[in-house]
Amino acid sequence: MTTEIRISDYSVSEDTDLRTLGFSIGNKKVITPTRALNTNTFFRETKIHTALASLNELYFTLDEDSLKNINEKPAASKAKNKAAHKSNVQSDYKPTLCLLQFKNKDISPRYPTTDEIDILINTAYSFSDITPIPSIPKIARALDVENFDEFIAYLNACYTAITVRNKKPIIGYIPATVSLFTKKIIDFYVDHGINAYYIDFDGTLITTHATALNALKVQLKKRGYEENNFLHYVNVSYGKSINDQEVLSARDLLGFGHGLDSLGGVHMGPKRNPEYYEWLKAHKDLKRNTNRLLNRQDYGYYRVDLLGDQITRMIPKDAPVQQNDIISAPESRQTRAVKIVNLHQQCVESTVLRAMVNENPENTLGYFRSKQNVLENDVKLLSKTSHS
Predicted confidence at residue 289, as pLDDT, reads 74
The tens digit of pLDDT for each residue in 346-368 reads 999 999 999 999 999 999 999 99
Predicted confidence at residue 275, as pLDDT, reads 61
What mean pLDDT comes out for the span 127-147? 97
Amino acid code (one letter) for 89:
V
* Mean pLDDT, all residues of the chain: 93
Report how far residue 352's alpha carbon sits from residue 370's, in angstroms, rounded to the nearest whole number.
Answer: 14
The tens digit of pLDDT for each residue in 35-54 reads 999 999 999 999 999 999 99
In sequence order, the β-bridge partners of residue 262 are: 34, 232
Burial annotation 10-36 (CB, 10 A radius, 16+ → b, else e):
bebbebbbbbbbebebeeeebbbbbbb
Closest CA to 232 of 40, 56, 107: 56
The residues near 189 (Cβ < 8 Å, ≥ 6 apart) are: 155, 172, 195, 197
**Domain spans, the chain:** 8-386
pLDDT category at 161 given cuts 50, 70, 90 is: very high
Q: Alpha carbon of 114 to those of 156, 305, 383: distances in Å?
A: 12, 48, 44
What mean pLDDT comes out for the span 102-112? 93
Residue 33 preceded by cis peptide, ω within 30: yes
CATH of domain 8-386: 3.20.20.105
pLDDT category at 288 given cuts 50, 70, 90 is: low
Report how far residue 46's alpha carbon sits from residue 214's, in angstroms, rounded to the nearest whole number.
Answer: 38
What stretches of 38-113 show up as alpha helix (H) in DSSP?
A: 64-72, 74-90
Check residue 363 and report its DSSP letter. G
What mean pLDDT comes out for the span 266-286? 60
Q: Is 338 a residue whose pLDDT tops 80?
A: yes
Check residue 51 and report its DSSP letter. G
The angle that helices 148-162 and 179-191 make with each other, rounded to 10 degrees, is 30
The residues near 366 (Cβ < 8 Å, ≥ 6 apart) are: none
Predicted confidence at residue 281, as pLDDT, reads 55
Q: Is 134 a residue whose pLDDT tops 80?
A: yes
What mean pLDDT comes out for the span 286-314? 89
Q: Is 1 a residue whose pLDDT tops 60?
A: no
Q: Is 5 a residue whose pLDDT tops 50?
A: yes
Closest CA to 207 of 377, 66, 371: 377
Number of C-beta neighbours around residue 192 at 10 A: 16
The tens digit of pLDDT for each residue in 238-261 reads 876 556 688 999 999 999 999 999
Predicted confidence at residue 286, as pLDDT, reads 55
283 within 8 A of 243, measured Cβ to Cβ: no
Q: How far is CA 219 from the centre of its chain?
A: 22
Predicted confidence at residue 270, as pLDDT, reads 56
**DSSP states of 226-288 as a string?**
TTS-EEEEEEE-SS-TTS--SEEE-TTGGGGGGT--EE--------S-HHHHHHHHHHS-HHH
What mean pLDDT comes out for the span 304-312? 91
Predicted confidence at residue 268, as pLDDT, reads 80
What pTM value is reported for the model?
Answer: 0.94
Report how far residue 322's alpha carbon sits from residue 31's, in angstroms, rounded to the nearest whole number.
Answer: 29
Closest CA to 112 of 252, 121, 201, 55: 121
Predicted confidence at residue 242, as pLDDT, reads 54
What mean pLDDT comes out for the span 8-37? 96
Check residue 126 and report its DSSP letter. H
What mean pLDDT comes out for the span 197-223? 96
